[in-house]
Structure 1
């Protein structure tokens, strides 16, 4: 302040013929003392006399200060009544921007309402979502609550929120430190000012707090707390935000030219000298080997120990405050504004205020100065890292700035960050470890949203982002991979001709159908022989044809199912097998009738007519056709894709459509087979060279055994193996009928023709 006023007084273009003076009062971080000092300045005496101005030789035109927000609030409420200009260089409390409550308050420091934005950007950049806050009491309560709400609104959780005070006892401070130690939050925000911070840091340094990264608000980072070497170990690496450093021209020389002889009335000068050089003035007794001050000590030797123009932001803030006030006065008397110009005799503080509010100039460092509607100077902030070096030097290092395009984000510089807490790199500060892709976050009951557990996505769901709050379903034709961080195409499963199982069943089916064609040709060629003519050769031909279709029907079950094949496979299967069993039933009944009607004159010999058996086959088959037709009309089979039964696989199969109709089809076939078996079993002891009753009994026994074992096997399998079981039952049952009924006859016809002779008179044409 002294430097700025001397510089203005030496400038002939600024306030010509006017000399600025100053009076400095120490408020000692106490509101009452700040009010007392302000009233003394206004009244012009050594005693506070409200509403009176006792000094006539000079005019009080403004007040620069105070540093602490609570002090500024107390003073601003009084000065605002008189519209007396007050420009603070350190009070950042956001409430001071209220021009209704504080109409004459201005400041050159950034308001606290700006800080949460920069805090949030910094925390989000380093992914710090779990932080603690230490705030001050008094008038900072309002701002600290706003800070907390803004931080939480950006998705960052507050692990603890505690208040510190200059009046706290050591035990109270220790209880706060215990909370900080136990908390998993690595980052701690210091949102307070020097009076509260000094006693807290004394105890923290004694307790050797480690493992925490301190984030300082503007009020802390610009305070003289960093000049206390006893706190260097604790505060080393502190990160804060401040306005871009402005180097004031010629201020460095002024700093190093200071000497006690130049300021004999400054009560702090000798104490400063003693503390800086570790000496005592001759009027004091040196202790512990110290020495006397000679006055020849050079302040430039303290440059690397923190005594330089770049270590205290307050220098430029106070400099700007003095210059804005001076330019306001200059505009008033020089008629440079739209308002009418006033003479020095008309200079009143309430008149000066209007000119100061409209100041827009550049200081000697090239920094533009102007106030917004709330009386705040607007500056972009930078992120700084305070570093105390082993050689005793201390410095603020700028390590990042904020860019607004395309959106607000932090851009790191090449300067290395020294992390407090003993970290060598940016530490983590999270309540819970991030959930990798494939997991979703599930909140913990009674905990903030930042505290969660990671749950693996379910079988058909995935998440491809870190910390995803929900899992997404894969499309119907896809499934989640093993890590559930993406979807893969499902494998289509059906019994294919190309695979070994499908190929083997196809081979057996084709081979069986060719065998039946061969047998049919043999029977046609030997149609007049007793073996062929026995038990109605027409039924044998129909049986061979139906068995031929039974073998070929298996081919309908192989390959990718489509609706038409799903319909045909069931209908051909049901009708072919019913026709086959009907033929066998007709042959069995004919045997029973033939051997029980031995008298030629018996009237019941009419039942030996072949039309009876043909009618029986037709009626039995027609019933199955009616069942299948009703099935087709009511609920026909269709192709279906099952993507739930087998993970990672879509089973392409035929849906039966109507389980009742399918059960009726199979049940009717089972009823005929049972009836045929019973009749054949009862007639197995009838005589005759070409009696088929025994062969039919064995064939139906095999047929029944196959289809009875088919039921549990079919129900216990899925996919292509279920289809394979059904095909196997069809082929094996058909093969059993062929082997028991026709192969013995083929053996006699081809290999033992001498046995193919009529030795009985009873036979059927």
Structure 2
């Protein structure tokens, strides 16, 4: 058929409709010249001719015009009839409900007229949606306050889960009584088309929403949850009475978080619903720190190869939780494959598309499905609906095209008109059977989950019509503040009111669309449980309310949940075991962030929770305990008298001090002996007092540092040791002068006496005093708390104001020691009787060796051990001096008094000169 012929054919029907509406007295000119008008036809189309004849000759018969148009056209349009469940009314609501599972595919060879569409596998629960629509319309028609003087009608089509069937049904609904013509309806003013309720599958809703959106025709879906349907640019006149597109993924993720699952698999159907739903779910999981163990797609129809691939992924992964984002019809083959491979112990998370479905009626899948938990539309109670479900029978609804097939499903009978070959063994249906005797597992009259959505969709249209009726002239929402004409309103005018409806249904459930044309999500959390007596059922174990505040949207009764035969409590589903307190998670390279290793927290850091990503650092005055789970106060450390090291050093210092006092006592007691006199008694006394002070200054370094001790201890140490070394230097010089002055004509005789040694001692001590006093004044030391010297310890120490002055002080002390060592070494060959330079040489070697070793040891230690090193250097160097210088003399004085005579010393001196 050519395009021109098609246009003429359409114009015939348009002309027919116009003439019907005019309804003039067309019998008067039935015999008007047929040939004249026929000759004019080629110049005009039928539509133009129809208008012309109505204007010029309004009495031309409708019959003549139609016959002329048909005579002109040599072809005739032929259509496939489409059955519908209809009820006449002044305003018609369309219904698209997949009462059957699928359309039977027929082989078309185009040699004969194609047969009409045939569907198979009747769904009782889907037929309940038809009954919900009927019930809602009957309620509305019986309510004069809601729909005054207007009767709602309906046209319900079976879409059979087929996109083509959904489109076909919509075209029939829009086109009216004549064959399907896009964007054209051959109807009288009434009944008026109002809206389409449906479809159930998202793919069908997408297909018809694109058609209905062209004229902004209202469409209200009761089950389609495809995220992209919220796009008002693509689907401007689409709204839905199911939860928002974001509610279901959010609810699933909230449930996963509640059970502390972090390693979850996703299996989605190979369509828009599965693709977009799984993508939303992945994004929501990523926001909440949940990893995807695997993400697979179910092919349609499922092939053995694709099923084996999915089964292998499930068997390889460690996850125990898998989200199934698909329709029930797409999952049966997969679940059968899971059963055949004996994969048990997995927790299947079901979304609302398949949880309350016929999948759970197949007993061979119960072992696999046992413990399934998921979301289903909130089951509201519709007052009176249960009684309505029991009250239907074929004679009451003779136009119901589904009721007889429904009757055969719920009762063991067959209708005689089905032309059964052998009816002897089959009970005939009478239509009087009692529905109350049907088992609830077959005909569920208590679960109104999606029935409520259908019910709400019909009422949304009714309330929109009521709001349109309530419009007052001059206050309307349209141009020039006009209102819509109830007898001739445009689809977009009704949709203006549809998207703004707000009401409470009879179940006191709030119905209001948001800016995307959606309702807030309200879901029941259901758990499929198989009892020991092999009875299965869905038990409500919680609720998800998207209206609730954050953190309180999901409420679960965990005690009521059964996880199948393998688990008695919540099964784990993690890539790695949780890191206990005291450890932190370290991601594994190249793997999702849920896969990690557990590393202990570093010193000074803690983690008091499981699965901590970063450890918390303790405050400066606290430290982590051995388990790294809490911070404890740091130990305050200093070289105290109570600890073993402090006790040892203080005891040793006291002993050395007593030794020095003893030596001083011996020298005083035997001061008139030749040996004591020969070694310059006054310098010996002075040196012993200096050595005693050196020992005693160690006590300034033991104990908790205070302001006084920090201020003076280094200065006292430097001055006393400089005084001590100056005494030894003076003693050495005195010996050298004494022996040199005995030579004839020696110029050193005038220097013999006490003035030279005293001036040397005073000079050495004074220079060091100036250095230390400047140091104390310019950079006074004070006690401070060192948090970093030792792990977990607060060291109380003296803060040295200037390390430079410390090394200057040590440098001057070293200069005196080296100078004394050189002079003593040079004078080592003097006569032995009165010569102690050898002992001084050895003492200064010990002294310098100790302090040269002290510097690297002092620098490399921290905290109280730094102080201990300095005390050890003080004690060892002082003890070396007293032992090397005074021990030989005390040995002679105490143990060998015969050597402490003038004759012995003179004779020894002579021997020394000879040698």
Per the TM superposition, whether the score is higher than 0.5 is yes
Q: 1:409 to 1:269 in 2, by over 3 A?
A: closer
1:384 and 2:526 correspond: yes
Shift of 1:397: 0.8
SS of aligned partner of 1:364: coil
Q: Secondary structure of the equivalent of 1:428?
A: coil
Match of 2:694 in 1: 550
Provide the C-alpha distance between the structure 2 equivalents of 1:15 and 1:696, rounded to a whole number of angstroms. Answer: 126
Q: Which residue of 2 aligns with 1:50?
A: 182
Name the stretch that deviates more: 147-156 or 633-642: 633-642
Q: State the partner residue of 1:484.
A: 628
In 2: Cα distance, 1:433 partner to 1:608 partner? 90
Question: 1:242-293 CA deviation, whole Å, 9 max, x = no partner?
Answer: 4432222332233344556766776655655555567777865899xx9757
Provide the rounded CA distance (Å) in 2 between the counterparts of 1:733 and 1:113: 82
Which of 399, 415, 430 is 2:542 aligned to? 399
Secondary structure of 1:214's counterpart equals strand
Cα pair distance change 1:354/1:479, threshold 3 Å:
closer
CA contact (8 A) 1:92 1:111 kept: yes
Q: CA deviation at 1:126?
A: 2.5
Shift of 1:312: 4.5
Aligned mate of 2:597, from 453, 472, 492: 453
How far, CA to CA, are the matches of 1:723 and 1:106 in structure 2? 82
Contact 2:722 2:765 in 1 (8 A): yes
Deviation of residue 65 (structure 1)? 1.3
> Is 1:109–2:251 an aligned residue pair?
no
Offset, 1:484: 2.4
Per the alignment, residue 724 of structure 2 pairs with 580
User: What does residue 31 of structure 1 align with?
Assistant: 163
Question: In structure 2, what is the equivalent of residue 69 of structure 1?
Answer: 202
Query: What are the residue-to-residue correspondences of 1:326-337 with 2, within 5 Å?
Result: 326-330=462-466, 332=468
Say whether the 8 Å CA contact 1:213–1:421 is kept in structure 2.
Answer: no
Contact 1:193–1:219 (Cα < 8 Å) also in 2: yes
Q: For 2:222, which of 66, 85, 89 is the aligned residue?
A: 89
* Equivalent-residue separation in structure 2 for 1:415 and 1:749 (angstroms): 97
1:177 corresponding residue in structure 2:
311
The separation in 2 between residues aligned to 1:244 and 1:413, in whole angstroms, is 16
Range moving further from structure 2, 268-277 or 380-389: 268-277
- Structure-2 separation of matches of 1:695 and 1:84: 119
Paired residue for 1:686? 832
Judged with a 3 Å threshold, the aligned counterparts in structure 2 of structure 1 residues 457 and 426 are, in CA distance, closer, same or farther, namely same
2:455 equivalent to 1:319? yes
Distance change >3 Å, CA 87–CA 534, structure 1 → 2? same
In the alignment, the residues of structure 2 paired with residue 706 and residue 346 of structure 1 have an alpha-carbon distance, to the nearest angstrom, of 115
Q: How far apart, CA to CA, are the structure 1 residues paired with 2:905 and 2:695?
A: 36
In structure 1, distance between residues paired with 2:144 and 2:356: 33
2:506 aligned residue (364, 370, 394): 364
Structure 2 CA distance for aligned equivalents of residues 220 and 472 of structure 1: 45
Q: Secondary structure at the match of 1:22?
A: strand
Instruction: Give the whole-Å Cα distance in 1 for the aligned partners of 2:846 and 2:893.
Output: 24
Alignment of 1:14-25 (within 5 A): 15=147, 18-25=150-157
Change beyond 3 A, Cα 1:625–1:597: same
Structure 1 equivalent of residue 29 of structure 2:
none
- TM-superposition CA deviations, 1:59-84 (whole Å, max 9, x none): 54432211111111211222233443
Whether the 8 Å contact between 2:542 and 2:554 is mirrored in structure 1 is no
Are 1:160 and 2:302 counterparts? no
Q: 1:501 to 1:158 in 2, by over 3 A?
A: closer
Query: Pairwise mapping of residues 109-148 of structure 1 onto structure 2 (< 5 A)?
Result: 109-140=242-273, 141-148=275-282
* C-alpha separation in 2, matches of 1:163 and 1:693: 100
- Whether the 8 Å contact between 2:192 and 2:487 is mirrored in structure 1 is no
Q: 1:420 to 1:401 in 2, by over 3 A?
A: same
Question: Which secondary structure does the structure 1 equivalent of 2:156 belong to?
Answer: coil
> With CA pairs under 8 Å and 6+ residues apart, which has the higher RCO, 1 or 2?
1
Residue-by-residue CA offset, 1:371-423 (whole Å, 9 max, x unaligned): 44443344644433344555535234141344734754433347612336844
After superposing the two structures, state which structure 1 stretch, 309-318 or 428-437, moved more: 428-437
| Match in the other structure for 2:19 | none
Query: Which has the higher mean CA deviation after the structures are superposed, 144-153 or 598-607?
Result: 598-607
Superposition deviation, residue 552 in structure 1:
1.4
Normalised to the residue count of structure 2, the TM-score between the two structures is 0.71
Q: Does 1:254 align with 2:388?
A: yes
Q: Distance in 1 between matches of 2:905 and 2:626?
A: 77
| Structure 1: 5+ residue stretches without partners | none
Structure 1 pair 228–301 and aligned structure 2 pair: CA distance change class (3 A) = farther
- What residue is the counterpart of 1:475 in the other structure? 619
| Residues 93 and 111, structure 1, Cα contact 8 Å, conserved in 2 | no
Structure 1 SS opposite 2:157: coil
User: Secondary structure of 2:560's match?
Assistant: coil
Equivalent position of 2:811 in the other structure? 664
| Native 8 Å contact 1:631 1:661 kept in 2 | no
- Secondary structure at the aligned position of 2:354 is classed as helix
Secondary structure of the equivalent of 2:460?
helix
Structure 1 residues 474-524: Cα deviation after superposition (integer angstroms, max 9, x where no partner): 333332222223322222332212334423433443454455456556656
Aligned equivalents of 1:324 and 1:712: distance in 2?
90
Q: Cα gap change, 1:537/1:432 in structure 2, threshold over 3 Å: closer, same or farther?
A: same
Aligned residues: 759
Is 2:712–2:776's contact at 8 Å kept on the other side of the alignment? no
- Which residues of structure 2 form unaligned runs of 5+? 1-132, 477-481, 908-915
Distance in 2 (alpha carbons) for counterparts of 1:441 and 1:484: 14
Give the stretch that moved more between structures: 266-275 or 547-556: 266-275
Equivalent of 1:191 in 321, 325, 331:
325
Cα 1:223/1:21, change in 2 over 3 Å: farther
**Counterpart Cα distance in 1 of 2:380 and 2:636:** 71
After TM superposition, give the deviation of residue 438 of structure 1 in Å.
2.9
Q: Secondary structure at the match of 1:502?
A: helix
